[in-house]
Structure 1
Amino acid sequence: MDMEELLPERESAPQEAAGAVSLSGIFGLDGLVAAVTGGGSGIGLAAAQALAAAGASVVILDRAEVADEILMAIKGAVPVTALVADVCDEAAVDAAFDKIAHRYGHVDILVNNAGLAIRDAAVNLSLEAWNKVVAVNMTGVFLCARSAARHMIASKRGGAIINTASIMALSGGGLYPNISYQTTKGALVNMTRALAVEWAPHAIRVNAIAPTYVRTPFIAPLLAQPELMRRIEDMTPLRRIAEPHEISPAIVFLAGPGASMITGHTLPIDGGFLAQ
């Protein structure tokens, strides 16, 4: 008997296996609308660029006007616009998301990136300074998440929310006092878990990233201290701090279809800082 008679018949053209992996199936954001708070610089700007490159229409929310040249520099075949909104202002936040939903029909992705740090010893930190950090890092994140989720629920499309936490959310620090930042970022990690559980029935995934020190204007006062930066690098197994473009791919992944089973998770992007 010929061996070929023992083999099952095959179709002449190979069929794509069920669940076959493709880059567009993991990272593709075509047809989706993303809002990025604090998107005028640093991690937020890098996130806006990466989301646009993946196909999303991007709206940057910032408390100041975003220069036209910044918007033009964001490469993508989809619209990139900006709105002025203070994340601490409930009415302004709700109005901004209403505008996004009215213009595009839906809101699919929120990158909660706006943040504030007032670095001071706990015994010296004023209540006013404490409240400023809480207002941006906790209340602002909640207000934006709540407004985005309301539109996601109404559209019945689901969505993805990515909060920017920090390695300081998962560590006591020790390099310098930063109690209000560490406390609010730690709270953000648990806010992420709580919202992930509450909004899972609506197919809204909520995750967070926990970046290490990233070379942005946000840490300019630290970058101006060479000895401190050497200590930070020495504490990092990869022996360097991060660049904004090294943070944004994780945001795109968590926003996209490749992360469809990931929610309530905080992903450190830290060069091994927390592994020690």
Structure 2
Amino acid sequence: MKEQASLLDAFRLDGRVAVVTGGARGIGYATAQLFTAAGARTVLLDVDEAAAAQAAATLGPLASSMQLDVSVEGDVNRVFGEIAAARGRIDILVNNAGMALRRPSTELSLADWQRVVDVNMTGVFLCARAAAGHMLRSGGGAIVNTASIMGVSGGGLYPNISYQATKGAVVNMTRALAVEWAGGGIRVNAVAPTWVDTDFIGSLKANPELMDRIRSVTPLGRLAQPQEVANAILFLASPAAAMVTGHVLAVDGGYLAQ
């Protein structure tokens, strides 16, 4: 039993400082919950300051929160600087903040396209760049980006071009940054979830026919739960994945295997 416990220590995050964007709810909150249980001092960042504070309060003394719009460069640099100054380091970043505007491409305005790009693509870059600056000075770290099955698939159940395009960008950004920062000891990976049972797909869940179609195209026949995605994120962020970088891990019930 002692040997088994020591092997499982590879999934512990004791002493590490973790930052989770979009941490107030859904996948972000489930990840923060798991990280604190694994021993990490975890900062929940979210554009909704009150929700982030309330979420952090449920997680105990290892959790804290700050307000952040990931699309604002100056705010990103300031917040990550404050976290590093207060805690001495940043070891883990989970780039989870995201949004979707599910509209036909011919009806998607340039302004709405840009809103999604700013959060889903530029925000991921800004936060990764800010975190990496601190990680490189302290000897390395781990970054996990939230991509999507729609980043490697055309989908087709409904129009969602700005989300699909930006999540595809996250997939290749993950690979490019993994190669660029490997020499500095930073591992960069991503998860690609299927439809997850959160408020993020609230409008989809209101359509029973669409939900039946989603389940029918998923070999396991159901939505993912936030905790199931968080489990994969913990693996990629932990020492257990020390030889894994540039990888996109599908948490999709077999959707991409078809």
**TM-score of the superposed pair, with normalisation by structure 1:** 0.90
1:73-222 → structure 2 map (5 Å cutoff):
73-74=58-59, 79-156=62-139, 158-222=140-204
SS at match of 2:27: helix
* Partner AA of 2:20 in structure 1: V
1:244 aligned to 2:226? yes
Whether 1:232 aligns to 2:214 is yes
Alpha-carbon distance in 2 for matches of 1:144, 1:35: 10
User: What is the CA-CA distance between 1:21 and the residue it aligns to?
Assistant: 6.0
The one-letter code of the counterpart of 1:259 is A
Larger Rg computed on CA atoms: 1
Higher fraction of helix: 2
For the pair 1:53 / 2:53, whether they are aligned, the reply is no
Q: 2:8 aligns with which of 23, 28, 43?
A: 23
**Mapped contact 1:87–1:144 kept (Cα < 8 A):** yes
Secondary structure at 1:58's aligned position in 2?
strand
> 1:68-118 CA distances to partner (integer Å, 9 max, x unpaired)?
44223225xx52100111100011001110111011100000000000100
Q: Match for 1:97: what amino acid? A: F
State, as a whole percentage, how many aligned pairs show the same letter.
Answer: 59
Count matched residues: 256
Alpha-carbon distance, 1:224 to partner: 0.4
Once residues 107 and 129 of structure 2 are traced to their aligned partners in structure 1, the CA distance between those partners, rounded to angstroms, is 33
CA contact (8 A) 1:160 1:255 kept: yes
CA shift at 1:65, angstroms?
A: 1.1
Alignment check: 8 A CA contact 2:20 2:42 kept: yes
Question: In the alignment, is the contact (CA less than 8 A) between 2:57 and 2:64 conserved in 1?
Answer: no
* Structure 2 residue identity aligned to 1:130: W
Q: What SS does the corresponding residue of 1:137 show, helix, strand or coil?
A: helix
Summarize the Cα distance change of 1:180–1:248 in structure 2 as closer, same or farther, 3 Å threshold.
same
| Alpha-carbon distance, 1:170 to partner | 1.1
Structure 2 CA distance, aligned partners of 1:170 and 1:274?
8
Cα distance in structure 2, aligned partners of 1:21 and 1:227: 48
C-alpha RMSD of the superposition: 1.6
TM-score between the two structures when normalised by the length of structure 2: 0.96
* CA deviation profile, 1:119-153 (whole Å, cap 9, x unmatched): 11111110001000000010000000000000001
Q: Tell me the SS of whatever aligns to 2:144.
A: strand
Residue 154 of structure 1: how far off its partner (Å):
1.5
Answering whether residue 54 of structure 2 is matched by residue 72 of structure 1, we say: no
Deviation at 1:66, TM superposition (A): 3.6
C-alpha distance in structure 2 between counterparts of 1:240 and 1:259, whole Å: 27
Unaligned runs of 5+ in 2: none
Q: Does 1:38 align with 2:32?
A: no
Q: Secondary structure at the match of 1:123?
A: helix
